[in-house]
Structure formats: structure tokens, C-alpha cells
Structure 1
């Protein structure tokens, strides 16, 4: 069983845990299945942050420290983690890690899987010779992470999953091959992107299909068509995915009751909220909260 010294959240933290059904899509959809994120987040000055997993987990773990200090303990020994260090823990490897008590680390972290994840883990660990490594700080690396996170935060369309998979490879390259790292491209938003941003800004509302279409000045039929074509989902289902993603964060990082979380997401019926959450995440809200790391 995992040991946790920090139950409450860290101010400014953010995290996304992909639903079970979305992970199944990742596992069976090329080329996403080569490498994909299962969990991702950012913890600033994560005081008392600590994890202990005697049997490891099925995902590979990557932690990139930009400020403060921490440590990693694996069968190969104990290693100090300083600013601009990243640590890699291969899947199923026993481990402990935590923040320095006096100068806690600020970290970007990711759990990942995929048919090529062993290869990428090996590259990061220099063929299992070094599990903590130094890399130069690059602003573009942070922008890549933010873009990757923002796209996952924007929902689980195939486009977003593919973009995040490719961006993650780019992020890994920035760690292992910093001298070869180059700036990425930044695409302008189309009407579907604008609509998703509108959804994100109104997660506390119960919006109709007509309201969503009107927000980008399109007819309902045309809006629904282009939205489904780009994301693979209807607008309302996509909106619900975003609501449940936000619900996961409330469950992980707050002590709000289920009915309070439902209301924050514009859902007055807590029973409907629980059914929707269970349908999307595969577990009930209470089960999800009880299993948080």
C-alpha cells in the first residue's frame, strides 16, 4: 500500500488522471499506443511530498525538478535531486521519493505507458545506468509541458491524445538531448478550439447544445458536425468529460462533499453527477477519492 505524508494539496498544483476508458483508447490506437501519458501534473513547493511503492506501479514515472530539492530511493541506491534534475523510475520498480523538508522541490511529473515506453525509459536512464540526471533549463520545455497539459485539459479527443503523445516525445527529447532541442510550433485556434475554451470557462454552468453553438456563431447542425469531426465526440459528451476532469481535481485536492462538487459543475442532482462520473471514470466519486495517491 502506498504511504503518503501529504494528504492535502499544494497551493497552485494541477493534475490530470486520464479515465480508464480513455486509456483503453490509447492502448489500442496507433500511433498513440507507442507512448502515452496516464497521469500528469505540476506541484509547486510541494512541502512534505512523499510516495512509497514497495512493488512499483505499472507505469513509468518521470519527475522534473525546477526548484528546491528532493530525493529518490530505489534498489540501486539513494539519490539526491536538485534543480534541473529529472528522475526516471521504470515500471514495476520499487521506489520511494520525496521533497526536501527545508527546501521542497517544485516538480513537473508524468506517469506514462505504451509499447515503446521501455525504450524511452531506457534512453532517459541512460540504459539503466543513471536514474537521476542533470539537464539545462529551457523555457521552451515548460511551454511544451503547458501546451501538452492544456490540450489534455481540453478533453480527450483523438487529436488531443495524439498531440499529447507527440508533444510528450518532444518533451522527453528536451531532457535527454537538450543541445538538439528546438522550438515548437503554435497553431492558431479554430472554432472548435474556441468552443472548448468556452466550455472550460463555463464548467460551472449547465449549457445546452444551442448555447454552445451560439457561442461560436454557428448553427447547431454545422457546429455539431465540425465538433464531432475534429474531436470524435458530440459537444455535450465532450463538455461532460471536461466537467468530470474538473471533478477529479476537486476530489483529489479538496475536501468538498460530492453534492458540493456537483453544484460547482452546474449539476444540481448529485445522484446524476455520481452516475455520470462512474460512467466516464469507471469508478464512483467516493471510490476515486479513496484511491487517490
Structure 2
């Protein structure tokens, strides 16, 4: 049975080091009781690949729930709602890779125009939950990538990227095969989820511009009314609420890192009147932008968190 979820989805942001396409979250930090006191889903700005060494619990991917055990792995597209819940009192051991799929493929793959876009779309078609005995080749390849990132030998990033290309190519093929199968309800639900995740991508790319909900619906080729309904069902918030969340999170980054005037920051984040910016900032962050700038240590304590995490030492 799925756990009760808050209506707020959490955006967990990872910063990719310059000139990299893969970051690894390794070691004892990821041996824990997952999901304790958490009843909401989250999503990331990069594709997440997780490998479970041991433990048991449940994994929610979009609207589906799976029971996990050691030896299984997940592939979760960016902006895809999910969470991991260990069984009560159970310690689970996971390690993770976060991948900038577009940058990696454009760096390593050549072909006719649109070929890379086709691969990207196939990889992001759906989340994958796989038992080790179902895809033994991918399990071994994933473990090799994790060990390569852990050991950090000369040219390890190049080696890891090459193996990751092989891994993602196989995922793309399997996803295409899945959608080529006959079937009704499951395929339709997956299709609608994919449309929502495409809308999240569009918002991430265009939040700083003047944007209407109708513009987003047009981009994914469904009616505005239908888009509002399925977005709210999937995300637990309206499209406008999500747009404002992304804009205010971006504004917080500017406030933390620059001394630009607040009016300038508001414009860079898609607000063209100060009153609208101030009203939304107050609503989401609980204080005015001027006050927040004086005490940004409160940033990660807000209910709508914008978490910047990276492995220790990076």
C-alpha cells in the first residue's frame, strides 16, 4: 500500500561539476533507513540510476509501487516523481549515479540530425525497476561503473562515460520495445506521465520568460483544461504553482550568489512586476526577499526545499 503523500513534491537539485556528465553518490552515507518521516515524492534535475546492494522496502515510481530487495536497480528520468521507503527498522544500502543524459549523448554519439534526440526521448520514456536476474548484463555493467567512479583511477571519467553510453543504449532499446507492445491502460498512463515530465522540462527551460499555462499545453499537444487536470493529479499542485516554485527557487540562487538588485533578479526569474515577485516569494519562502537575503541559512529549512547535494569532497 502506498504511503500517504503531501501535496508538495520536493525538488532535489544536484550541481554537475564543470565538464562532467556523471556524478556518483557512494559509500556509507547511502546505507540508511530510507523514507523515514517522509510522506511526499521528489524529483531531480538529472537522470538517477540507483543500485540496491542489500535491504528491502518499497519504491514508488510515478504512480506505480514496487517492492525492492538487494540486487535490483532503478533508472529514473529527470523530473520523474519517486521515493524510496525502507521497511520499518530495515537498513538499506544503495549507491547512485546522476547523469546529464543530453550532454553525455551529444558528446559521445554521432549520427543523422535527430538521432541523439531520439535516444534521449527513448531513455526518458519511462522509469525502469529491474531485478538483477532479469537484466544481469546491465547489473554487472552498472556495478562496474560504480566501482570505476569509486576507484578514480587515471581516465576513470572517460571509462565511466563509455560504459554509461552502453548502459543507456540498452535502456533506450528496452523502453522502445515496451512501448511497441500492444496494450491499453498501462501504455496510456505511461504516455500521460511522459507528457507531464516533458512539461516539466519545458518549464525548466523557459521559466524566465513570459509563460502561460496554455503555452505549455500547446507544447505537449493536449488541451489546456486536460493539461491542468493531469498535471495537478500527477504533481499535487497546479501548473502555475509549480512555475512559481521553480522561479522562486531560481531567485534564491541569485540572492545567495550575487549582489544584483532584487528587481533585476525578479526579471531574470520571469517576474516582470515587483509586486508579483514579492507576493510569490513571501508565499513560498515565508518572508520578503530582502529579509531572506540577510539570512539565507534558512534556505533548506523551507517546506519547499531546493537541495544542493554532492558527494563529500567535491
User: What TM bracket, shorter-length normalisation?
Assistant: 0.3 to 0.5
Q: TM-score, normalised by structure 2?
A: 0.41
TM-score (norm: length of structure 1) = 0.44
